[in-house]
Amino acid sequence: MKFDTPAGTNPIDRLRVVGQPHDRIDGRFKTTGTAPYAYEHHEAVANPAYGYVVGAGIAKGRIASIDLSVARRAPGVLRIVTAENAGRLGKGTWNIAKLLAGPEVDHYHQAVALVVAETFEQARAAASLVAIRYETAAGSFDLAASRHSATKPESGNPDADVGNFDAAFDAASVKLDETYTTPDQSHAMIEPHASMAVWDDDRVTVWTSNQMVNWGVGELAKSLNMPAEKVHLISPFIGGGFGGKLFVRADAVLAAIGARQTGRVVKVALQRPLVANNTTHRPATMQRIRIGASRDGRITAIGHETWSGNLPEGKPENAADQTRLLYAGDHRLIRTRLATLDLPEGNAMRAPGEAPGLMALEIAMDEMAERLGIDPVEFRILNDTQVDPENPERRFSQRQLVECLRQGAERFGWSARSPAPGARRDGRWMVGIGMSVGFRDAPTMTSGAIVRLDRDGVVTVETDMTDIGTGSYTIIAQTAAEMMGLPLSRVAVNLGDSSFPAAAGSGGQWGAASSTAGVYAACAKLRDEVARKLGFNSDEAEFLDGYVVAGNRRVPLADAARDGEVGVEDKIEFGDLSKRFQQSTFAGHFVEVGVDMATAEVRVRRMLAVCAAGRILNPKTARSQVIGAMTMGVGGALMEELAVDKRHGFFVNHDLAGYEVPVHADIPHQEVIFLDEMDPTTSPMKAKGVGELGLCGVGAAIANAIHNATGVRLRTYPMTLDKLLGDLPDVA
C-alpha cells in the first residue's frame, strides 16, 4: 500500500478498539515469568554451552600476544575464540569499531576473546586465565581538551546560516551567550545484551535482544561473511533497549562464531561492565547557545553550536536538531562539530539529539525569559512558529505546542509560581517550579505484515516488529481488531522473527506509527479478499462484531475461511508527505522540586507532561511510555553520568552500583495529558510516536525548577548537590 496522500476517513476512525486504554496483552507473560528473553529459550535448545567475553584492558593500541595455554586446560573449556581463529570477519554498516579486536584495539573493553565452556562459571573462571600482553598507544579521551580540533562531520548535520546571525545578535537589545554541558551516559537497560546461537549446516539461528530485527540480519550476515538469507534472528521479548540494541553487538557475533566452532548451542550475555564500555553510549556534549531578542521578547537571532566526540568514522550527537525547528527568529546559526575520541562508541540513546539538546536550549530559554522580565511560558508562546524557520514554505503538519503550554500551566498551577527565586519554603526545603518545551520528530519507515484468518474466526498477525516493553503487541492487535471488526481476544500477534515481513523496528519514535500502518495495509488487503470470498462489494462491506455486513446481508467473518485459512501480506510505503510537511511531536513539561537548604539534596515533588503526538493508539500504554521517559529525564538531570578515566580511556562506574539511575523513591506523582489530535499526513492511523517525547525537555524543566527554588543557575549536568552547595542562600 502506498501512502502518499493524507488519510481520509477509514475503519480505524471508529475507535472501538484503537484509542482505548487496553491492558498489554503480553503483560501476563511478563508478570508470570513466562515471556522468554534471548538467554532463556530453554524450549528451543538442549544442553547449551556458555560463552564469556574477554574485554580489552587498554583503550588504544594493539595486542602483542595472547597466551591461551592455561585457559584451554581449565575445567569444562570447549573453545576459545580470538581474531586469530575466528575466520575472516566483515564489519557491519552500523557499528563503528570491529566487534572482535585483533591485533588493533580501538577502545576499552572491545571484545578480544570468547571463552566457551560447559557452564557459565567455568567459562568465567577460564576467561580470567587468558593472558594478554598489550602495546599501548596514546589516546584522546577528553572532549573539552579536544574541542578545538573538532571538525564538521563529513555527512549529514549541515550547518545552517539564515539571515545574518552575527549582525542581528550584535544589534539585539537583550542577549544571552552561555555554554552548557551534558555528560557521557549509559543506556542502563535491565536486560544486558544477550544472544544464543545454533547452526544447522550452513544456516545460523540467533535468539538475541535486538530492537531492529531486519537490520540485525544484515549486520550479522556482513559480520560473518555469509548470505543474509541464511541468518535467522529471533527477538520476541526485549528487556529494555533505549537505542543500545538498535544494532548487533559482540554478543550476537561471538555466540554465532562460538556455536560454529563447537557444534553446540552457545549462549553469551555481556557482563554489566561490558554493557557500558563494549556497547554504545550517549556521548558527552558541549553546547554554546546565543539568543538575541528585542525588548518585547521576540527572538531576532538564535545560534546553537554543539561539540561531541566519537571514534574515527563515528557520528556526532545531533544536539542542535531541535533548535532548527522549535522557535521563530529571522537570523539563525547552527553548527555541529565532531572531535575524534578513543572512548567506546557513541551512538543512539534515549532520544538522541533532542534529549541532550533540549537540556541546554530550554535552560537558555529560561535564562532569556528572566533577562527580559517575561514569564517563561509566555516567552515560548510569543516565539512559536507554524512553519520551518529555515524553510518557511514548509508548514508543520500539526503543531499544538501553545495548547500544550496553556493546558500545562493551568493544570500545574503555574500562575501561583513566584518569579523571584528562593521565595517559597516548606520547612527545610526551598521549593521551586520550572517548565520546558519537549520536541521530537515523528519519522516513519516502511513496514510489512502477514495477516491470516482461520476457520475459527481468529486473526493472526506476523511481523518482525519488536516489543522493547513499549506495548507493540497490544497496539498491533488493536489495529487488526479494529480493521477486521473483532474483539481483541480474537487476535493473535507474533513478533520479532526475521522469517516474518520486515517492519520498522523499535527506535527513533518511528515504531508505533509505522508498524501499525503496516498491519493496517495488510488488513485492508485481507478485507478485500474476505469480501471477495463472501461475495460482497469490498467498497460497501463493513466488518463489525465478527461479521461482514452490507445492506441486509450479514455473514460471519469466519465463513470466509471455511475452506481453509485466508492469508495475505502487504506493507506500507510512505511517499513524500514527510518532505512536504514537517511532522513533529510537542510537549509542555512542568516540574516542582524541593532543595534541602542545608545539604542541597534535590527531590522532585511533582511532574506533568502535556503531549501533542497525533492519535494516541492506546492511552494506557502510551502513558506508561511517557512516565518511563519522564523518569529517565530525572536520571539525566540529577544523577546519570559515566565517569571518564581520562588517563586510561574508560568509563569507571561501569555497573549499576556506580552508575546511578532513579529508583522508586526518587520519583513522585507523574501526570500525563494527551491532547486530542489526529495527523492525517503521517499514516492511515493518523498517529505519531510518543515515547521519546516524554523525555525531551524534562532535564531542563528540573534545572529551571532548581533555579526557581534556590536562585542557583546550573549549566552542567548532572545537577548534583556538590554543584549547588557553595551557592545556596545562607541558612537562617
pLDDT tens for each residue of 591-641: 999 999 999 999 999 999 999 999 999 999 999 999 999 999 999 999 999
Q: Break the chain into its structural domains and give their ranges.
A: 2-35+446-574, 41-138+188-277, 353-442+583-725
Residue 485: CB atoms within 10 A of its CB come to 23
Strand partners, 261: none
Decide the pairing of beta strands 160-162 and 331-340.
Answer: antiparallel
Residue 33: CB atoms within 10 A of its CB come to 8
pLDDT recorded at residue 732: 53
Give catalytic status of residue 154 as yes or no. Answer: no
pLDDT tens for each residue of 552-582: 999 999 999 999 999 999 999 999 999 999 9
The answer to whether residue 701 scores a pLDDT higher than 60 is yes
Contact 30, 40 (CB under 8 A): no
Strand partners, 566: 453
**pLDDT grade, residue 45 (50/70/90)?**
confident
| Grid coordinates given for 377 | 511560558
| Grid coordinates given for 292 | 538575541
CA nearest to 695, candidates 669, 716, 670: 670
Rounded to two decimals, the pTM is: 0.98
Segment 127-137 shows an average pLDDT of 98
Helix H or strand E segment including 258: helix 250-262
pLDDT recorded at residue 564: 97
**Rounded CA separation 706/477 (Å):** 43
Residue 487: CB atoms within 10 A of its CB come to 11
Average per-residue pLDDT for the chain? 97
Segment 452-468 shows an average pLDDT of 98
**Rounded CA separation 19/674 (Å):** 11
716 by Cβ neighbours in 10 Å (0-12 / 13-18 / 19+) ranks as: middle
Distances, alpha carbon 26 to alpha carbons 15, 482, 502, 619, 659, in Å: 22, 19, 21, 16, 30
Task: Please give the single-letter amino acid code of residue 665.
Answer: A
Contact 10, 684 (CB under 8 A): yes
| Grid coordinates given for 190 | 535491565
pLDDT tens for each residue of 429-453: 999 999 999 999 999 999 999 999 9
Segment 272-287 shows an average pLDDT of 97
pLDDT recorded at residue 490: 98
The answer to whether residue 731 scores a pLDDT higher than 80 is no
**Rounded CA separation 698/243 (Å):** 19
Segment 332-340 shows an average pLDDT of 98
pLDDT recorded at residue 155: 84
Contact 1, 600 (CB under 8 A): no
Segment 197-210 shows an average pLDDT of 98
pLDDT tens for each residue of 711-721: 999 999 999 99
User: For the structural domain made of 2-35+446-574, what CATH number should be given?
Assistant: 3.30.365.10
Task: Please give the single-letter amino acid code of residue 498.
Answer: S
DSSP per residue, 70-122: HHHTSTTEEEEE-TTTS------SS-SS-SS--SEE-STT-EEEEEEESSHHH
The answer to whether residue 651 scores a pLDDT higher than 70 is yes
pLDDT recorded at residue 730: 84
The answer to whether residue 12 scores a pLDDT higher than 80 is yes
- Note the CATH architecture for domain 353-442+583-725: 2-Layer Sandwich (3.30)
The answer to whether residue 25 scores a pLDDT higher than 90 is yes
Contact 597, 728 (CB under 8 A): yes
pLDDT tens for each residue of 510-559: 999 999 999 999 999 999 999 999 999 999 999 999 999 999 999 999 99
Chain-centroid distance, C-alpha 730: 42
Query: Under CATH, what is the fold of the domain 41-138+188-277?
Result: Aldehyde Oxidoreductase; domain 4 (3.30.365)
**Rounded CA separation 645/658 (Å):** 14
In the set 191, 219, 367, 692, the catalytic residue is 692
Contact 557, 458 (CB under 8 A): no
**Rounded CA separation 570/558 (Å):** 21
pLDDT recorded at residue 43: 86
